[in-house]
Structure 1
Amino acid sequence: MAMSIDAIRGAAAAATVLGYAALCGAIWWRERRRRTSIQADANALAGHGTSPALVLFGTQTGQSEALAWQTARALHSRGLPVRVLSLNSLDADMLRATPRALFVASTYGEGDAPDGASLFVEKLMAGINALPSLRYAVLALGDRQYQNFCGFGRQLDEWLHSNGATREFPRIEMDNADPSALAQWNSRLGLAGNGEEEVKRPFAHWQLSKRELLNPGSVGGEIHRLVLTPPSGNLPAWQSGDLVQIEAPDDPTRPREYSIASIPTDGGIELLIRQERHADGGLGLASGWLTVALSPGDLVPLRIKPHANFRLGSNATRPLLLVGNGTGLAGLLSHLRARAATGEGDNWLLFGERNAAHDWLARDEMEAWQSSGLLHRLDMVFSRDQPGQFYVQHRLLQAADDVVAWIDRGAAIYVCGSLEGMASGVDAALRQVTGPDRFAALVAAGRYRRDVY
C-alpha cells in the first residue's frame, strides 16, 4: 500500500534527525579523543624531575593556543620539559614557583584581554606584586587595523616586568599570523628551523547560490543572507559556532571572518553580512563585494575555521541563554539549529536590533521554534521602538532573577555580535546580576562563551 504524504514527510524528518544525531555522535567521539590526546600530550611534554617551563596562552578563537602547543612541542623536541596551560587555569602559587614562562597572548578588540585570560587579569594581575624569580618572554598577537595593536600583550609584558620578572628578550608582536614574527620567536627560543608550522586548511571556491536582503527599509546598514555551496557537492563537516574566512578579491592578504549561521544538514554555509559604509559613502571592500558585486553562481574563496571557544562542546546538553545583536544572530542561529536537530529545547534567546518593522531577522524561524517549544523563551529588544534607547543588556538587568535561576540550574551563556556597546554592556550586566563569585565560576567552567567583533 502506498505511503501517505504525511508518512513520507515523517520518514524524511526522522531520517534527517538520525543523520544529524549520527554526525553529532561522531563529533562527540572525535572531541573526546582530542581531549584525551591533549592530556596525553601534556603529560608527555612535562616529563619528570626538572621543573617544567610553562607555556601559557590567552586565546579567543584558538590561534594563540595552537601556537603555544607548537612552541611547547618544539621545546620538548630539544629535551626541555614544558607544561601548557590557559592563562585562566594559572594560579598565583604556580606562577610564583615557576622559573620560566613563555606567554602567547592574543588581544581582543581595542586592546582587551581575550576571554581565555579574563580570570587571569582579574585575579592574578590585580593581586600579584612580586615575581623576582621568573624569567619570561611574550609573543603578542594582534591586528594592525585596530588602534591599540597587541594591547593586551603589551599590558601583560609591562605588568610582568614591573613586578620584577626578567625578560629573556624583548616582546615580539605578530600581526595576523605574520610568519616573520613567528620565525623571530622561534629563533630567540633556539627553535629556528624546527620545521613545524601552523597547519591551515586551504581556501576552496564555494559558489553563491542565493542572496537576499533581510532588512529592507532599515535605518541601519543593509543585512544580506548569503547561501554558499561547494561546487564539488562534497560538503565538509563543521560544528555550530564555527567561522569562515573569506578572501575578498581587492584585499586577498587579509581574510575576513564571519560566523556561520547554518549546520551541515542545511546543505550549505549561510552567512549574515551587513554592508559597511565609509564616511564618503563607499562600501567596504569585502561587504560591498559580497552584498553587491558578487552574482549568483560566482565563486568565493572560503575556508572553514574551527572556533573551539564558541562551540557547544561540553555545554551541548545544558540549558542555553543566547544573547546577541545584528549579524551576531548568525552564530546563535547555528546553535539553535543544532539544538533543534537533537531535540534540546531548553533555550532562551535574547536578541536586539533597531526596529521590529524592519529588523526582526529570521522572524519566521524564531516564531516556529517558539511554537514548537525549542525556544523556551524569546526576548526581542528593538532599541528604537520606545522612548529612550533600550538594549539587550537592559533586558538582562530587568530579568535578573530569571538569569540567575537559569545559571544556577546549569545554563551556559553564549554571546554573539558587536564588541562595543552590546557585548561590553552584556558583560557588565552579567557581572552585576551574578556577583563576582558566581561570574568567576561561570567563566572557569567554560559556561560563558563569546564570539564578538
Structure 2
Amino acid sequence: MTHAVLIVLISLLIVLILHVIFLLVLLKSKSKEKLKQADHPILIVYASQSGQAENYAVQTAQQLSAAGHVVQTLNIADFKADLFKNDQRILWLVSTYGEGDAPDTARQFTRNVMTKSFELNDIQYAILAFGDRHYSNFCEFGKRLDTWLADNNAQAWFPMVCVDQLSQIDLQSWQSQLNQVLDQSETDMIALEQQPFQKVILSERHLLNRGSLGHPMFHLVLTKLNELNKFDGLNWKSGDILEIQCANTKTQIEGFITHFQLVDQIDIQQINIFEKLQFKNLRTFDNSQNIEQWLEQAQNLAIREYSIASIPTQNQLELVVRQEINEDGLGLGSGYLTESLAIGDQLDCRIRSNSAFHLVENDASIILIGNGSGIAGLMSHIRQRELLGLHKNWLIYGERQQSVDRIFENQLSLWQQHGVLSEIDLAFSRDQNTQKYVQDCLIVKSTQLKTWIEQGASIYICGSLHGMAQGVETALIEILGQRQFEQLIEQKRYLRDVY
C-alpha cells in the first residue's frame, strides 16, 4: 500500500468519524428536544356547553400530537387545583352562553378553583373563547378566566382570542398565534377544520301550533338524497346538535340580481352566479360595489343550530323550529327553514356532538324537562330509551295554551299507553284557569321528585334558558337543597341543552 493511498484512507476514516459524531450529536439534540416536550406537556382544558369548545379541543390535541407534542385533553369539570403545581403549559378553550354564564361543566371550577388564589408564575397559557356578539357579555367567561389567571401571575403567550359565532377570521388569528408560539413548521401548522357539510332534502314540514299566542312552530323532516346516500357523514346520538348552513334560495338570488340591476354587470353563465351567491349575506351589498370584487370578500351567512328530535334508526333527521320574528322580519335560520325552503329543496347540514347532553349509560330513571321547541331534544332521548327498553321516564313539558299547544299529543299519548313514559305532566302558562309553568309541576310533585333523585334518576333540560331553565334550577334548589343540587352536577346527572 503506497503512502498516498494510506493518506486517502486515513482522510476518509476521519470524515466518517466526524459524520458519526455529527449524527450522534443530532440524535442527542432531538432526544433532548423530545425529553423537553415530555417534561413540559401541553394541557388542553375545554369548557363546553353544546360541544363547540370540546370539538376544537379534540382537533387541537390531535394536530399537536401529530406534530410531536405531548398533549393531554381535559374537561374543565375534571380539573383539580393540584394540576397547577406542575410547570404547565395550558390551552383553555372555553365557551360562554346566556348572559355571560360559564358552561354547566365549569360550575365546579368557578366555585372551587377560581375563588382561590395561587402562585402561577410557572404556568404559561393561551385562551380561545367562544361566544356571540349579539349578547352584551360577549365571551364573558373567557374574560373572567383570563383576568383570574393574570391576577395569579400566570404568563399569557398572547392576548385572549374571542371567536364570534365560529368566525373563521377569529379562528385563523388563534391558529396563527399558537403556531408562532409553538414554533410549528409549515408541515405541522395547526389548522382547525370543521366537518364538511352534507346535503339533505326537506321532505316534510308541518305547523304544530296553529292559532297559538306564541310564534308559529314547525316540525321538519329531513331525508337522505337517495337510497345509496344513507346519511353518509351524518352519524348522531340522541342529544346531539344539527348545524344548518343558512343559504339563499334561487328565488331570493333572482330577486337580488333584479333589484340591483346586476344582469348587465355580470356574465351569469361564466361565473355561475347562483352558486357563488348561495351562501353569501346579500344584505351587505350596495350599488356602489363591484359584484365580482364583493364576492371575493363577502362572508357566508351564519350557521344555525337545532336540537335533533329523531334517532338514527328512524333514518331521518327531525327538527322542531319556532319562527324568530324581529324588526327585519323572520330570523335568518327560522325564516330559511320554515318559509324560504320549499318541500323537496336541498340544504347543507352537519352533526355536532353534544356530549354534555348525551344519555347517561345506565338503566336508571330519567326526568325530562322542557318547553317550546325544546321538545325536540327530549323526544330524541325518549326514542332512544324506548329502543333500549328503558321505560322509567318522566316528561314535564310546558307551552302556552292547552287548546292549541299540545305539541305531538298523539305521540306522547301513545308512549304513555305503551309505558314508555311512566309519567307526563303538561304545564300551560297562558290558560287563565290552570296557568302554570314546568317549575310549578316540580313543586307540586316535590316528594315524587326527591324519591326519583334518591333512586338515581338523572335530569335532562331542553328549551329556553331565560324563564324556564332558570325557574327549574331555582325550584330544584328549593326542593333538594343547594348541596344535593350541586352533587347532581358533580355526578353529571343534571344535563342541559338550553338557549
TM-score, length of structure 1 as denominator length: 0.83
Answering whether residue 416 of structure 2 is matched by residue 376 of structure 1, we say no
Contact 1:350 1:380 in 2 (8 A): yes
After superposition, the Cα gap between the structure-2 partners of 1:99 and 1:350, relative to the gap in structure 1 and judged at 3 Å, is same
**Cα gap change, 1:428/1:161 in structure 2, threshold over 3 Å: closer, same or farther?**
farther
Deviation at 1:174, TM superposition (A): 2.1
Q: CA deviation at 1:385?
A: 1.6
SS at match of 1:253: coil
Aligned 8 A contact 2:242 2:306 in 1: yes
Q: 1:54 to 1:216 in 2, by over 3 A?
A: same
Q: Structure 2: which amino acid aligns with 1:285? A: L
- The 5 Å alignment of 1:31-42 reads none
Larger deviation: 62-71 or 375-384? Answer: 62-71
Matches within 5 A, 1:287-436: 287-315=334-362, 317-386=363-432, 390-436=436-482
User: Structure 1 counterpart of 2:494, which letter?
Assistant: Y
Structure 1 residues 47, 116: CA separation in 2 closer, same or farther (over 3 Å shift)?
Answer: farther
For 1:231 and 1:356, locate their aligned partners in 2 and report how far apart those are by CA, in whole Å: 38
Determine if contact 1:54/1:98 at 8 Å carries over to the other structure.
no
Counterpart-to-counterpart distance in 1, 2:36 and 2:427: 54
Deviation at 1:267, TM superposition (A): 3.1
Q: Tell me by how many angstroms 1:85 deviates.
A: 1.3
* Residue identity opposite 1:272 in structure 2: V
Conserved? CA contact 1:75–1:191, under 8 Å: no
Among candidates 256, 259, 262, match of residue 307 of structure 2: 259
CA offset at residue 98 of structure 1? Answer: 4.8
Work out the CA distance in 2 between the residues paired with 1:78 and 1:277.
47
Letter in 2 for 1:372: H
Classify 1:46/1:335 alpha carbon distance in 2 versus 1 (closer, same or farther; 3 Å): farther
State which drifts further: 116-125 or 242-251. Answer: 242-251
Residue 111 in structure 1 maps to residue 109 in structure 2: no
2:141 alignment counterpart = 152
Residue 77 of structure 1 deviates from its aligned partner by 5.1
The answer to whether the aligner puts 1:235 opposite 2:230 as a matched pair is yes
The residue number in structure 1 matching 2:326 is 278
The more displaced of 379-388 and 271-280 is 379-388
User: Share of identical aligned residues, percent?
Assistant: 41
- Could you tell me how far 1:320 is from its partner in structure 2? 0.8
Q: 1:131 to 1:424 in 2, by over 3 A?
A: farther
Cα distance, 1:415 vs. partner?
A: 0.7
**Structure 2: distance between partners of 1:168 and 1:70:** 20
Deviation of residue 48 (structure 1)? Answer: 10
Residues in 1 aligned to 2:220 and 2:413: alpha-carbon distance in whole angstroms: 21
Alignment of 1:213-232 (within 5 A): 213-232=207-226
Checking the alignment, whether the CA contact within 8 Å between 1:46 and 1:82 is kept in structure 2 is no
User: Which residue pairs with 2:16 in the alignment?
Assistant: none
Contact 2:209 2:407 (C-alpha < 8 Å) held by counterparts:
yes
CA distance in 2, matches of 1:201, 1:70: 11
The answer to whether the aligner puts 1:451 opposite 2:445 as a matched pair is no
- Write out per-residue CA displacement over residues 107-132 of structure 1, whole angstroms, 9 at most, x where no aligned residue: 12231111221211122122446545
Specify which of 189, 197, 200 is matched with residue 203 of structure 1: 197
Distance in 1 separating the partners of 2:312 and 2:38? 47
Q: 1:50 and 2:48 equivalent?
A: no
SS of match in other structure, 2:326: coil
* Structure 2 match to 1:140: 129
Residues 46 and 52, structure 1, Cα contact 8 Å, conserved in 2: no
Amino acid at match of 2:487: A
**Residue type of the partner of 1:256?**
R
- Equivalent position SS for 2:302: strand
**Cα displacement string for residues 86-125 of structure 1 (whole angstroms, at most 9, x for unaligned residues):** 1111122333545432211111223111122121112212
How large is the RMSD of aligned CA atoms in angstroms? 2.5
Select which of 40, 54, 57 maps to 1:68.
57
Amino acid at match of 2:320: L
Using the TM superposition, give the Cα deviation of residue 417 of structure 1 relative to its aligned residue in structure 2, in angstroms.
0.6
Native 8 Å contact 2:99 2:135 kept in 1: yes
Amino acid of the structure 1 residue aligned with 2:455: R
TM-score scaled to structure 2, two decimals?
Answer: 0.75
Partner of 1:166: 155
Alpha-carbon distance change, 173 to 348 in structure 1, aligned in 2, over 3 angstroms: same
Per-residue Cα deviation, 1:51-78 (whole angstroms, up to 9, x for no partner): 6443211112222223333434444456
